[in-house]
Structure 1
Amino acid sequence: MQRRTFLIGTAAGAALAAAPAAGLLTASATAAPAIVGSLDELQAAIDRARPGDRIVLADGTYTVPPDRPLTVRNKRGTRRAPVTIAARTRGGVVLNGEQSFVFQASSHITLSGFSFRQSSTLDVPPDCSHIRLTRNDFQLADIEGVHWVMVRADDSEVDHNHFHGKSTLGIYLGIEGAGEAEMAQRVHVHRNYFSDHSFTGSNGGEPIRLGVSPRALSSAHAVVEYNLFERANGDPEAISVKSSDNTIRYNTIRDSFGGIVLRHGNRNRVEGNYLVAGTEGVRIYGNDHVIVNNYLSGLSGRALVIGSGSERDHVPGETPDARRGNDAADRVLIAYNTLVNNKGTLFGESQRPHEPRDVTVADNLLVGDSGQLVAMANTVRFTWSGNLLWGGAADGNIPAGGGTRKDPKLVTGPGGIVRPAADSPALNAGTLRWPRITHDIDGQPRGRARDVGADEYSRRAPRRGPLTPADVGPQAG
């Protein structure tokens, strides 16, 4: 489909025609560059938009009137021809006011390149679908209790954005759904930069909250990947998962108070994440999770916690108080993780009545110089095998035969990441036969004889590694 563009205002058109191509968000290689020059013109262009149209707003600072937000109503692009509303240059359009965009009954809509400075939540409601927020800068008014972005629409995408600069109660990005118990389906969150949340309370400042307790048993099938978190200090949970059947992979959390917490829900997968030089690690509640190929290093708190429960299991129809409680971790696989030089390594909990059950802890590399490497409370039917332990820390209460104390001969590589050397006893020492974990944290194949820990030894360059600000956010490739 031929993409249309909108040109309104002779002066604006002349300025754009004279502008260099670099940095201009054009519709396609064949479409003539065009912009709209005011909020009224932008609204008019949105009102008459058709699939494939790209509407470009001239750079500048705009205050959206409280009674006339930019409304995207009954607009339906297609997968191949979305309706795109973009700033002329990334970050060049600043939107002030109570609201910016309001979505109603629309699909396949993209917002790109805006600097959002509004004072209320940007909401993507459940009567929409396929809404994409890409290459935007979010630094909303720092108001107590205001959540910045709430996604409740199926098949939405949040990518290459920067969320930063909140010091009060409230989350950066929430994912929920319709009603009280549903979750939006297949939301994809990737290549975002979450930084500088400095709320000092004990709860309520998460960068990402994937569900809430009434939605815990609802499957979301969300994928949260390749995001960077730095100085994410607003909550102990940088990624707070409170729903089921999600994938949290290839993220980097650095110099942050928060960690990855499976607070509610079942059947979530946490894979290939780096948590370095912060406080919290990975904390697990709920059933049938898979925790593999993660690297946790230099944490001043507990690296990995297998949680106890105030409830044995969450079930449909339970009371709100019961649902808010912790669900004991049952039938969880914890394998091929590297935990090195943390203040606390592998911990259990004893403050709740229901102990974790039927958990497999296999082929993990546990290295530390103080305390105990394993400090579990009550457990039932745990399977321990192939773990490699080292350092000045005591083994703790890992069962006999559950691990071996040998020097893993670690070497430090780029970014301060340690990996086993070519002569490490970790090589080919894996014991887990099922399920097969086919690749390591670097994206390299594990083969048939698998190594202990997150890294499978290889002379080839890694396919991926810890993220930096250059890898994420509005300007990343």
Structure 2
Amino acid sequence: MQRRTFLTGTALGTALMALPAVAQAMGTAPAGRPAISVDSLAALQSAINSAAPGAVITLANGTYTVPNDEPINVKGKHGTHTQPITVIAQSRGGVILRGQRSFVFADSDNVTISGFSFRQSTTLEIPANCAKIRLTRNDFQLADVEGLHWVMVRADHSKVDRNHFHGKSTLGIFLGIEGSGSEGMAQQVQVFKNYFSDHTFAGANGGEPIRLGVSGRALTSARAVVELNLFERANGDPEAISVKSSANTIRYNTIRDSLGGIVLRHGNGSTVDSNWIVNGQEGVRIYGNDHKVVNNYMAGLSGRALVVGSGSARDHVPGESVEARRGNDAADRVVIAHNTLLNNASGLSGETRAHEPRDVVIADNLLVGRSGDLVAMGATVRFTWQSNILFGAAANGNIPAGTFTRTDPKLVTGSDGMARLSASSPAIGAATLKQPAVPLDIEGNARGTSRDIGCDEYATAAPVYRPLTPADVGPNAP
């Protein structure tokens, strides 16, 4: 795997660039769109009230205290996919909104909010009676109030991209995605290129950067995509990305120097693909059924790198009690393939609840460690183990004999600190899992018909993806 310019010439990069245009740093309107410049909250509200599709409303830089009884209302406003209604700061971060509330949405769609610094003391809500709301290039540092959730998205097809969430020391999440009623989930929400940093809550849990659902919504498919986000010093919870709904995709994220990892806590049928989790504590933890966990790189973690969870229940089912739904659902029919676990305190491990995981495939993974056991599973039923590579001073643990090879994978460490296969690695061409297909590696290189063990497919071509840095995400991201 070689480094190259981030997303250059890729299909995903092209798709992201093709998202509806947002006025840039000085709030200028794209050609053909009506431009409205305002310098007061009263004028801003008037402009929003009269805005038609394609309008770009620019608020002059400054600090504005929004009156408690007069929030900025976005009600009954309907842009279109190609002509959203855009409300933008004159320059990114140049408009600071203080007070209890800022924007209050109702019965609106295709509205974009861009470039603001939010400093409120209550949650910014995107309610379920809206759709296609976009929050982009904003800075979120709301009041550091115990239990305050900063942003809650309940609207279908919304986008949260290129924002910075940072600076919280109390209970409460940065970004939540839920839906209507007690079981609904917003559909197909996209969360990408955001920077989540510096949550220092010292409690046992409750400070997730992203919480995708809650236990009561676990069986509802959300089909959200959380990708290309960076998490640094995310120490508010053992779960940096907490998934409590079904059919979601978590990919191409980087979690660095953080307590939290990626946890499929509730729900079924999600994919965790091509994430870097390094120099923190927790890695990936799995509960629920029919997940796919592939191409992930977990290195230098002081806690558990990869956990195949046992359950207080075999499965969560419709109609169960609230208390039962909060329990753990054993991991069944999960595919764990092409992951690299490198020098973690704990490698691949299990748990000891009443219901053991069943029918799990563990194939083509690379496990390297200096101490302890590389594999420490609890009770399992009908596990399929094949073509894994183990190496290092760490003991094999209880991985079944004949399902692995102990050999030096001949890794080389790049300038970014990530270890990759060298040209002489015995992992090259040694993978055997045929279904489900894993056509790409962690950096977007095609695996072809002769696939390599671990997250890295050895290639001389430049990679499509790489571990993220602050320059790749947040308000000034490409």
**CA deviation digits over 1:73-107, x for unaligned, max 9?**
00000001100000010000000000000000000
Residue aligning to 2:175: 173
Separation of aligned partners in 1, 2:191 and 2:415: 27
Residue 282 (str. 1) matches residue 310 (str. 2): no
Separation of aligned partners in 2, 1:469 and 1:395: 37
Q: 1:328 aligns with which of 327, 330, 339?
A: 330
Residue aligning to 1:347: 349
RMSD value, Cα? 1.0
**CA deviation digits over 1:176-212, x for unaligned, max 9?**
0000001000000000000000000001000000000
Which amino acid letter does the alignment assign opposite residue 392 of structure 1? Answer: A
Matches within 5 A, 1:52-451: 52-350=54-352, 352-451=353-452
Separation of aligned partners in 2, 1:155 and 1:116: 22
Which amino acid letter does the alignment assign opposite residue 438 of structure 1? Answer: P
Separation of aligned partners in 1, 2:116 and 2:398: 53
Give the conservation status (yes or no) of the 8 Å contact 2:35–2:56. Answer: no
- SS of corresponding position for 1:323: helix
- How much has 1:414 moved relative to structure 2? 2.7
Q: Give the greater-gyration-radius structure (CA).
A: 1
Separation of aligned partners in 2, 1:375 and 1:279: 17
Separation of aligned partners in 2, 1:118 and 1:88: 20
- How much has 1:29 moved relative to structure 2? 3.5
Q: Which runs of 4+ in 1 moved over 2 A?
A: 29-34
Separation of aligned partners in 2, 1:414 and 1:31: 45
Quick one: higher RCO (CA 8 Å, sep 6+), 1 or 2?
2
Which amino acid letter does the alignment assign opposite residue 144 of structure 1? Answer: E
Which amino acid letter does the alignment assign opposite residue 83 of structure 1? Answer: I
- SS of corresponding position for 1:283: strand
Separation of aligned partners in 2, 1:415 and 1:344: 23
Which amino acid letter does the alignment assign opposite residue 66 of structure 2? Answer: V
Residue aligning to 2:6: none
Structure 1 residues 190 and 404, CA, compared in 2 at 3 Å: closer, same or farther? same
Residue aligning to 1:473: 474
- How much has 1:35 moved relative to structure 2? 1.4
- How much has 1:31 moved relative to structure 2? 5.7
- SS of corresponding position for 1:45: helix
- SS of corresponding position for 2:416: helix
- How much has 1:303 moved relative to structure 2? 0.3
Which amino acid letter does the alignment assign opposite residue 108 of structure 1? Answer: N
- SS of corresponding position for 1:470: helix
Which amino acid letter does the alignment assign opposite residue 232 of structure 2? Answer: E
Separation of aligned partners in 1, 2:324 and 2:145: 31
- How much has 1:402 moved relative to structure 2? 1.2
TM-score by structure 2 length?
0.94
Separation of aligned partners in 1, 2:174 and 2:70: 25
- How much has 1:23 moved relative to structure 2? 2.9
Separation of aligned partners in 1, 2:220 and 2:244: 9
**Structure 2: where are the runs of 5+ without partners?**
1-22
Q: 1:25 aligns with which of 27, 31, 41?
A: 27
- How much has 1:420 moved relative to structure 2? 1.3
- SS of corresponding position for 2:142: coil
Which amino acid letter does the alignment assign opposite residue 191 of structure 1? Answer: K
Separation of aligned partners in 2, 1:56 and 1:359: 53
**Structure 1: where are the runs of 5+ without partners?**
1-20
Separation of aligned partners in 2, 1:441 and 1:330: 24
Give the conservation status (yes or no) of the 8 Å contact 2:33–2:55. Answer: no
Separation of aligned partners in 1, 2:145 and 2:278: 30
TM-score by structure 1 length?
0.95
- SS of corresponding position for 1:214: helix
Matches within 5 A, 1:41-56: 41-56=43-58
**CA deviation digits over 1:193-246, x for unaligned, max 9?**
000000000010000000000000000000000000000000000000000000
Give the percent of matched residue pairs that are identical in Structure 1 and Structure 2. 67
Separation of aligned partners in 2, 1:54 and 1:360: 51
